[in-house]
Amino acid sequence: MQSYAVFSCDLPAHGDQPPGRTGMKISEIADELIDALARQNDPFVVVGHSLGGAIAIELAARRPDLVAGLGLIAPAGLGKEVGRDFLSELPELSELDSALALLQRLVSRPRLITPPIAQRLLDHLERPGIRAALRALASELSQVETSIEPHVASIAVSRVPRIVIWGEDDTINPIDRRKLSRFNAQVLTLPDTGHLPHVEASRAVSRYVCEFLKSAALELGGMSS
C-alpha cells in the first residue's frame, strides 16, 4: 500500500484560521499559498474543494512548476454558478433552525447535517471578524466564473495532470458539463451526492484521489527521468 505526506490548510475565516484582511481576494490567498509552496523542494499535488478548488486552479495556472497535479472537488468557477442566495445567507445566520436548513442544502441526504454541526457554524460566526470576512469571500465567489476564466483556459491547454470530482445532485455549485469538457480533465461524477462529495461519498473520493496521486507521481517521475 502506498502512502503520502498530506499537508492541509484552512482558508481565511475557515476552521481555526483568523478572518484575514477584510476584502481578501482569491488571488491574494493564492499568493500566500504560492509563497508557501515555493519554499519547498518538490512540486505538490494540490487538492481543493469549492472555493479551495478555485484557488487551486489559479495557483496551478500561475505557477505550474509548483504543481505536480490538480485534484478538484466541485470547484467554484467550473460549475454553472455558485448559489448567490446561499452565499448571502450564510454569513448572516443567527438561529439554529435557519443554519440547519441552509447547511442541509449542501448534501443530498439532509440527515448528514445534524443540529450540533449547525451550532458549530453559529459559534464560528460569532468570532470577531468572521462574518465580515465571509461576506467578502461571498462577493468574490459571486463573480468567480468570470474572474477565474483566464486561469481555467490556461490549465485546459497545460500539461498539469488534473481530475475533477463532482456530485450529480450538487445544487450549490451545479455541474456545467460543457465547461468540464473544455477543461480537458478526467471527470468523475457521483450519483446521489451533493456539494460535499468528500463527506457524502468519502470512500469513493478517497479511492479516486489516491489513484490520481499514484498516476501523478508516475507521470512526474517519467518527466524527470
Give domain status of residue 2, yes or no.
no
**Start-end of H helices in the chain:** 26-38, 51-62, 84-89, 96-104, 115-125, 130-141, 144-147, 149-156, 177-183, 197-200, 202-224
Give domain status of residue 7, yes or no.
no
Give domain status of residue 6, yes or no.
no
Give domain status of residue 19, yes or no.
no
Q: Determine the 3-state secondary structure of 74 from DSSP.
A: coil
The parent domain of residue 81 ranges over 26-219
Quick one: pLDDT band at residue 73, thresholds 50, 70, 90?
A: very high
The mean pLDDT value of the chain amounts to 91
pLDDT single digits (tens) 199-219: 999 999 999 999 999 887 666
| Whether pTM exceeds 0.75 | yes
Give domain status of residue 167, yes or no.
yes
pLDDT single digits (tens) 17-31: 878 665 578 898 999
Give domain status of residue 188, yes or no.
yes
The CATH number linked to 67 is: 3.40.50.1820
